[in-house]
């Protein structure tokens, strides 16, 4: 019998239509992935199945789980269903757990509310479940609090909570998006094993097509609240009958046309034995202060016009290194020299003009009360000979045009722009002082694939026109591979491998680089797929 | 947890030491001679000299500071100049009114605010919430002495349930004593509970939109279970902060209410002492209040740690 069947589901929140005529089904033991860009309605589809929708939501159609239509069930029955028949895993493991309750209590709670188990029985079942998801009691006792666990470990707790009652259906909403690649690979393996072991259906929501292709038996592609295409993974990838599916896959494996690196090796930035320590809280009142070494004796150069990549997992020291290069934090030893002058927090402001930065979050990195013109002219506070009046307006118009926006956008506020446009504004802000080096700190990580492809093209184009050098920091190996000439691999504060990007990716020498590359999900080669008999 | 407590205790002692030096410095070392200040402009020089000797102003300042501190630790707060009675006695009498009144008012305010705040948060944007928001707005805007007068009018003069003022004393038994504190406690509690209910509401609303609340719903908890099992404890931190601040205010800030109800409390004592320039009383009462407020903050800090495990391990 079909486990879950969604029939002609339409959903609107208030008067805003969110989903239109969504129809799909899941069999026991089957992994179905819904993919699409932000705003496609994929998460809302998942929440519809859980019936955890905002109060102003109205639904039409039917959602049958084990033959019962969830849309007509009273709330009490839905509560009995959630967690018992359907479990759910969320995107953000850092916030999905209650910070003031132990992991044991939180897993046991699922068991307690759906069964007649005693507290002790529930705790022992919780211990079994936690061990099953890879958190054995000897190392992760039930008395642990969420803040004592890493992101990957917390996601395991969330999974244990979701599967504690061995539900027939598990819904995972971007379960690995917030995790590092190696952790992601392990969590995905765990989910696959659980599906087999419990004969569960798994509805997986993800924007990452490489993950989809790797995991799912069937794929559903959504856009603007509608399903544009669905089918068996192999067949769908081979045929891609809908142009949007094709566009989505092409954008995901987008290769930019990077200009040849300029010859002549003039280093513009040299980092020599840079070491950065953070003080840890004292362990005792009079105990000596301990230090954590975030960046350990790192050395590298960036040459004029060179595109350098920096990859590594969270906590490896990428961001600390960035702040040191920008002269925002002091080094404990070693030196960083940019354009022949030593970088330090106390350096004169005018020295900061030639190195600029673009951050990850296009929503959080602007003052919402400033107009674009003011945001863009802000870096001129650094420049002694900043343009004023007419000249300033002209400069702003030029950089806006440079990044593919209109000069008239200068008078708008930041909330009038989409995420991709905001990231263009961030790039314009970095470009306005005519820097020779830009640091892109996860600058495309928060963007949808099609927007990401456009921004990557823009970066390549700007580097061609302005002969820019950049340091491109990312956890996404496929992106680094296409936009850089040379790459550094960082682990625990140290550079463990560096070399030409192609050489490092095709023939990694260091075991850590190898594990990173192995863990990264890859898109199947579309050409191969379509040539092979379906 | 032990380390956290010890750290808080250390910071409590340091705060107390600093506060005592500041209070001593402001009152005793500030320009002008305390004795001539206390006696006013027309004092005879020999009266001033006599007072100086009595106050011990002829010994060095550092010695005087330690005498003061040492005295307070052994319960000797000095002699009131105006009343010619030991300050310790005056304070003891008053604190047995002020402290229970503050605790009474705080208990009432918490008992009112918690259910009201939780109710409003669980009905966000609906009529019940609007009503609560309107009522609490009024509760904050209307001064507590107006409530006090209304309470006296209704419950003392018209209904004759309570007496209009005065304190019968604890020796008359617990219930009569509490009864005579009831109207003032309600008058003090109403505006405080309006503030607290709003803090509770907004703090809960913040928590309601947290990811882990959605996780709890996905486990199969009802809305109500989610609110009480996962929301409340997380929402408590800002509420505890406000409760701590309100207690400090209620201890000394009840002076108008004490006047309205003729209560012999600390607020009135300090007001009278300031009017009669009785620096010894002022100094001691202020130090006592500082001590109580710092103690309350210490208790609030411990409560934070009891509520939030993240604070315990951060030490």
Gap from B310 CA to chain A (nearest CA, Å): 7
pLDDT of residue A50: 92
Residues 6+ apart with CB under 8 A from A419: A38, A362, A363, A446, A447, A448, A451
Q: Has residue A349 got a pLDDT over 90?
A: no
Residue B197 near residue B132, CB atoms below 8 Å: yes
Gap from B190 CA to chain A (nearest CA, Å): 31
Residue A471 near residue A439, CB atoms below 8 Å: yes
In CATH terms, are A4-252 and A305-329+343-526 the same topology?
yes
Rg, chain B, Cα only: 24
The domains found in chain B, sorted by start residue, are: 2-73 (no CATH), 88-314 (1.10.3720.10)
Residue A276 near residue A494, CB atoms below 8 Å: no
**Residues B132-141: pLDDT tens digits?**
999 999 988 9
Cα–Cα distance for residue pair A52/A393, rounded to 1 Å: 49
Name the nearest CA neighbour of A90 among B230, B235, B213. Answer: B213
pLDDT of residue A7: 92
B209–chain A Cβ distance below 8 A for any pair: no
Q: Has residue A487 got a pLDDT over 90?
A: yes
Gap from A211 CA to chain B (nearest CA, Å): 24
A469 φ/ψ angles, rounded to the nearest 5 degrees? -100, 145
Domain A305-329+343-526 is found in CATH 3.30.300.30: no
Q: Has residue B60 got a pLDDT over 70?
A: yes
Cβ-nearest to A100 among B211, B220, B308: B308
pLDDT of residue A181: 84
- A170: nearest CA partner in chain B: B218
Q: Give me the DSSP letters along A102-139.
A: -HHHHHHHHHHHHS---HHHHHHHHHHHHHHTT--TTT
Gap from A84 CA to chain B (nearest CA, Å): 7
Could you tell me the pLDDT band of residue A534, with boundaries at 50, 70 and 90?
Answer: very low
Could you tell me the pLDDT band of residue A284, with boundaries at 50, 70 and 90?
Answer: low
- A98: nearest CA partner in chain B: B212
- A280: nearest CA partner in chain B: B314
**Residues B157-209: pLDDT tens digits?**
888 888 777 787 788 888 888 888 888 889 899 999 999 999 999 999 999 88
Cβ distance of B211 and A75 shorter than 8 Å:
no
Residues from chain B that touch A83, judged by Cβ atoms under 8 A, are 218-221
**Residues A54-84: pLDDT tens digits?**
888 999 999 999 889 999 999 999 999 999 9
In chain A, domain spans = 4-252, 305-329+343-526
Cβ distance of B220 and A98 shorter than 8 Å:
no
- B215: nearest CA partner in chain A: A96
**Residues A120-165: pLDDT tens digits?**
999 999 999 999 888 999 889 999 999 888 888 899 999 999 999 9
Gap from B16 CA to chain A (nearest CA, Å): 20
Report the predicted TM-score, pTM, of the whole model to 2 decimal places: 0.82
Q: Has residue A357 got a pLDDT over 80?
A: yes
Cβ distance of A96 and B211 shorter than 8 Å:
yes
Could you tell me the pLDDT band of residue A484, with boundaries at 50, 70 and 90?
Answer: very high
CA dihedral A336, A342, A348, A353 (to 10 degrees): -60
B124–chain A Cβ distance below 8 A for any pair: no
The CATH number assigned to the domain with range A4-252 reads 3.40.50.300
B216–chain A Cβ distance below 8 A for any pair: yes
Mean pLDDT of chain B: 85
Residues from chain A that touch B229, judged by Cβ atoms under 8 A, are 109
A437-441 and A201-205 beta bridge pairing: unpaired
pLDDT of residue B315: 44
User: Could you tell me the two tokens for B228?
Assistant: 């009480």
Mean pLDDT of chain A: 88
Cβ distance of B218 and A98 shorter than 8 Å:
no
Chain A neighbours among B 276-315 (CB < 8 Å)?
307-310, 313-315
B225–chain A Cβ distance below 8 A for any pair: yes
Gap from B119 CA to chain A (nearest CA, Å): 17
């Amino acid at each position: 019998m079909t486990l879950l069947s969604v029939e002609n589901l339409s959903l609107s929140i208030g008067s805003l239509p969110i989903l239109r005529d969504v129809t799909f089904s899941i069999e026991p033991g089957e992994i179905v992935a819904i993919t699409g860009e932000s705003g496609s309605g994929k998460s809302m589809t998942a929440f519809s199945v859980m019936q955890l929708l905002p109060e102003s939501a109205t639904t039409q159609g039917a959602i049958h789980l084990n033959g019962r239509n969830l849309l007509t069930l009273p709330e009490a029955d839905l509560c009995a269903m959630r967690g018992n028949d359907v479990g759910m895993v969320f995107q953000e493991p850092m916030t999905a757990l209650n910070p003031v309750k132990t992991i044991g209590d939180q897993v046991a709670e699922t068991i307690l509310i759906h069964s007649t188990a005693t507290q002790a029985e529930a705790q022992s079942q919780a211990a079994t479940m936690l061990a099953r998801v890879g958190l054995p009691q000897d190392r992760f006792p039930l008395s642990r609090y969420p803040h004592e666990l890493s992101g990957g470990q917390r996601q395991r707790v969330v999974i244990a909570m979701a599967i504690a009652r061995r539900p027939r259906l598990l819904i995972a909403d971007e379960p690995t998006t917030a995790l590092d690649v190696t952790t992601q690979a392990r969590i995905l393996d765990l989910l696959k094993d659980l599906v087999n072991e419990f004969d569960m259906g798994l509805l997986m929501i993800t924007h990452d097509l490489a993950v989809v292709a790797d995991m799912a038996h069937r794929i559903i592609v959504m856009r603007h609240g509608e399903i544009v295409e669905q089918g068996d993974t192999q067949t769908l990838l081979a045929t891609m009958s809908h142009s949007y599916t094709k566009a989505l896959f092409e954008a995901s494996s987008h290769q930019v046309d990077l200009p040849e690196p300029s010859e002549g090796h003039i280093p513009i930035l040299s980092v020599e034995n840079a070491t950065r320590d953070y003080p840890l809280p004292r362990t005792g009142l009079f105990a000596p202060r301990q230090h954590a070494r975030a960046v350990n004796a790192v050395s590298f150069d960036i040459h004029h016009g060179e595109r350098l990549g920096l990859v590594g997992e969270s906590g490896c020291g990428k961001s600390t290194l960035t702040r040191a290069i920008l002269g925002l934090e002091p080094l404990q030893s070693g030196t960083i020299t940019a354009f022949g002058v030593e970088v330090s927090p106390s350096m004169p402001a005018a020295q900061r003009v030639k190195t600029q930065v673009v951050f990850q979050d296009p929503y959080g990195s602007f003052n919402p009360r400033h107009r674009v013109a003011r945001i863009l002219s802000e870096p001129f506070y650094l420049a002694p000979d900043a343009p004023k009046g007419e000249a300033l307006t002209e400069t702003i118009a030029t950089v806006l045009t440079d990044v593919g926006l209109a000069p008239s956008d200068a008078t708008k506020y930041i909330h009038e722009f989409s995420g991709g446009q905001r990231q263009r504004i961030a790039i314009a802000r970095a470009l306005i002082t005519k820097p020779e080096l830009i640091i892109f700190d996860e600058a495309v990580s928060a963007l949808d694939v099609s927007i990401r492809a456009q921004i990557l093209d823009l970066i390549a184009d700007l580097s061609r026109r302005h002969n820019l050098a950049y340091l491109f920091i990312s956890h996404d190996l496929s992106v680094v591979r296409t936009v850089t000439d040379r790459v550094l691999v960082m682990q625990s504060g140290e550079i463990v491998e560096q070399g030409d990007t192609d050489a490092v990716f095709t023939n990694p020498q260091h075991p850590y680089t190898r594990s990173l590359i192995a863990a990264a999900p890859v898109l199947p080669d579309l050409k191969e797929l379509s040539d092979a008999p379906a | 947890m032990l380390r956290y407590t010890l750290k808080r205790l250390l910071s409590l002692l340091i705060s107390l030491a600093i506060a005592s030096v500041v209070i001593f410095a402001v009152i005793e070392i500030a320009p002008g001679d305390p004795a001539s200040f206390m006696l006013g402009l027309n004092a005879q020089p020999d009266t001033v000299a006599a007072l100086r000797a009595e106050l011990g102003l002829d010994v060095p300042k550092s010695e005087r500071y330690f005498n003061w501190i040492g005295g307070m630790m052994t319960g000797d707060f000095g002699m009131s100049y105006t009343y010619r009675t030991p300050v310790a006695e005056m304070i003891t009498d008053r604190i047995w009114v002020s402290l229970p009144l503050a605790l009474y008012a705080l208990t009432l305010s918490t008992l009112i605010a918690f259910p009201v705040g939780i109710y409003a948060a669980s009905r966000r944007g609906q009529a019940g919430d609007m009503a609560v928001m309107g009522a609490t707005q009024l509760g904050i805007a209307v001064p507590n002495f107006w409530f006090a007068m209304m309470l006296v009018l209704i419950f003392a003069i018209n209904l004759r349930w309570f007496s209009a003022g005065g304190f019968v004393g604890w020796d008359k038994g617990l219930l009569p004593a509490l009864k005579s504190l009831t109207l003032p406690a309600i008058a003090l509690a109403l505006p405080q509970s309006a503030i607290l209910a709003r803090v509770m509401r907004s703090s809960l609303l913040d928590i309601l939109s947290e990811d882990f609340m959605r996780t709890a719903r996905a486990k199969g908890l009802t809305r109500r279970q989610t609110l009480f099992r996962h929301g409340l404890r997380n929402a408590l931190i800002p509420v505890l902060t406000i409760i701590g601040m309100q207690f400090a205010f209620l201890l000394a800030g009840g002076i108008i209410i004490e006047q309205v109800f003729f209560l012999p409390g600390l607020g009135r004592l300090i007001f009278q002492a300031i009017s009669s320039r009785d620096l010894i009383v002022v100094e001691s009462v202020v130090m006592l209040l500082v001590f109580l407020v710092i103690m309350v903050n210490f208790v609030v800090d411990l409560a934070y740690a009891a509520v939030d495990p993240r604070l315990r391990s951060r030490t």
